[in-house]
A and B are shown apart, each in its own frame.
Chain A
């Protein structure tokens, strides 16, 4: 029986560490220290996601100046990742993208942080 294909429905962008943000590719070729830090950051994300997620996840390989795009199969995993930011001292861009399984469109919502968790606007 063929295995069920994985659909990554939820996506957030995790910001690079402050000193690595908004660096052009040109700058990065001259700053191997930043590249090294970014690579270590990606490894750390991968390790954390292995701990947090119960279902599949993916770290987008495409380089973005702002941060790393992460994809989650499960909404619960995505929620857990967002609310556990302080534990790992990093910053999620307050925007959640969700693929609509009926229309196949990517819908984007604002993440609003509240004292009891997060809500979506």
Chain B
């Protein structure tokens, strides 16, 4: 059995210029719906039927576990790659509806659920205040998990008020991958 990795990468809604195969070398990578199709992802979250249908027909998601809310899962239960999203703890307290929130929020919740100790956020959109608030809520609820927000310079200060939130560059991320390999 493969040893469980301490790292997990979440690819958000935004386009990125980074070889995600590199990120796969240190742990699983979660895609947010069909926003990125550059590699074969380990997991992908999705909550709309249109996206799911596209993903079922994409090579990038052929080997992926596609996690969808229960209502959508029931409709696509006989598709081998489609899996029901777990009941994330504290979902009600975050006021998050899995059927309506963004796929990137679901991806972060999945990353935390999988109990990895460091979550890398690539292409994660925090320009929307709702997205930022939800990300912060998840970070506060999981103090033992470190969240590394990866972006191009200049970095963001939006996560600085949290002890487990950090911001770093793609260059630093690549260096970390090279060290961890």
List residues of chain A with CB under 8 Å of any chain B CB: 9-10, 74-76, 78-79, 96, 98, 100-103, 107, 109, 119-121
Q: Kindly state whether residue B6 has any CB partner on chain A within 8 Å.
A: no
Q: Which residues of B contact A74 (CB under 8 A)?
A: 80
| A103–B78 touching, CB < 8 Å | no
Determine whether the beta carbon of A79 is less than 8 Å from that of B83: no
CB contacts under 8 Å to A, within B43-89, are 43, 65, 67, 74-75, 77-80, 83-84, 86
A79 to chain B, nearest CB (A): 4
CA distance A16 to B113 in the complex (A): 41
Per the CB 8 Å criterion, the residue count for chain B at the interface is 15
Q: Can you name 29 A-B residue pairings with CB atoms under 8 Å?
A: A9-B80, A10-B78, A74-B80, A75-B77, A75-B78, A75-B79, A75-B80, A76-B78, A76-B80, A78-B78, A79-B78, A98-B77, A98-B84, A100-B84, A100-B86, A102-B43, A102-B65, A102-B83, A102-B86, A102-B110, A102-B113, A102-B114, A109-B74, A109-B77, A119-B74, A119-B75, A120-B74, A120-B75, A120-B77
Please tell me which one of the listed residues B74, B110, B114 contacts residue A121 in the complex, with CB atoms under 8 A apart: B74
On chain A, the residues within 8 Å of B43 by CB distance are 102
Excluding A102-B43, A102-B114, A119-B75, 11 further A-B contacts by CB distance (< 8 Å) are A9-B80, A10-B78, A76-B78, A98-B84, A101-B83, A102-B65, A102-B83, A107-B84, A119-B74, A120-B75, A121-B74
Q: Which of B75, B84, B110, B113 has the most CB of A within 10 A?
A: B84
CB closest chain-A residue, reference B110:
A102
Could you tell me the distance in whole angstroms from the C-beta of A24 to the nearest C-beta in chain B?
A: 34
CB distance from A120 to the nearest CB of B (A): 4
Specify which chain A residues have a CB less than 8 angstroms from the CB of B80 in the assembled complex. Answer: 9, 74-76
Distance between Cα atoms of A98 and B79 in the complex (Å): 11
A103 and B77 contacting across the interface, CB-CB below 8 Å:
no
Question: From B79, which residue of chain A is reached at the shortest CB distance?
Answer: A75
For A10, the chain B residues whose CB sits under 8 A away are: 78
> How many Å from the CB of B22 to the closest CB on chain A?
24
Q: How far is the CA of A25 from the CA of B65 in the complex (A)?
A: 42
Q: Mark B97-113, 1 if CB is under 8 A from A, else 0.
A: 00000000000001001
Question: Quick one: which of B77, B79, B83, B84 contacts A96, CB cutoff 8 A?
Answer: B77
Tell me, rounded to whole Å, the shortest Cβ–Cβ distance linking B44 to chain A: 12
Contacts of A121 in B (CB 8 A): 74
Contacts of A101 in B (CB 8 A): 65, 83
Chain A: minimal CB distance from B149 (Å): 25
Q: Which residues of B sit under 8 angstroms from A98, Cβ to Cβ? A: 77, 84
